[in-house]
Amino acid sequence: MFKVRKIAGIFVLVALLAAYMRSSESTKRYVKHLLKQVPYLPYRYFI
């Protein structure tokens, strides 16, 4: 079961990465801008 999950996880990551690589410069900037803030979301959720 763990192995299946691991493979599925890797597949999703590869798919996301591929989608990112194929996206426009504008989308890449947007994604980077949002990802930069992701580590703070748990704190933001509670403030």
Nearer to another protein, 6 or 27 (CB): 27
Give a three-class secondary structure readout of 1-47.
Answer: CHHHHHHHHHHHHHHHHHHHHHCCHHHHHHHHHHHCCHHHHHHHHHC
Instruction: Write down the least CB distance from residue 8 to another protein, Å.
Output: 22
Instruction: Write down the least CB distance from residue 15 to another protein, Å.
Output: 15
Nearer to another protein, 3 or 44 (CB): 44
Nearer to another protein, 3 or 33 (CB): 33
Residue 36 backbone dihedrals phi, psi, to 5 degrees: -55, -30
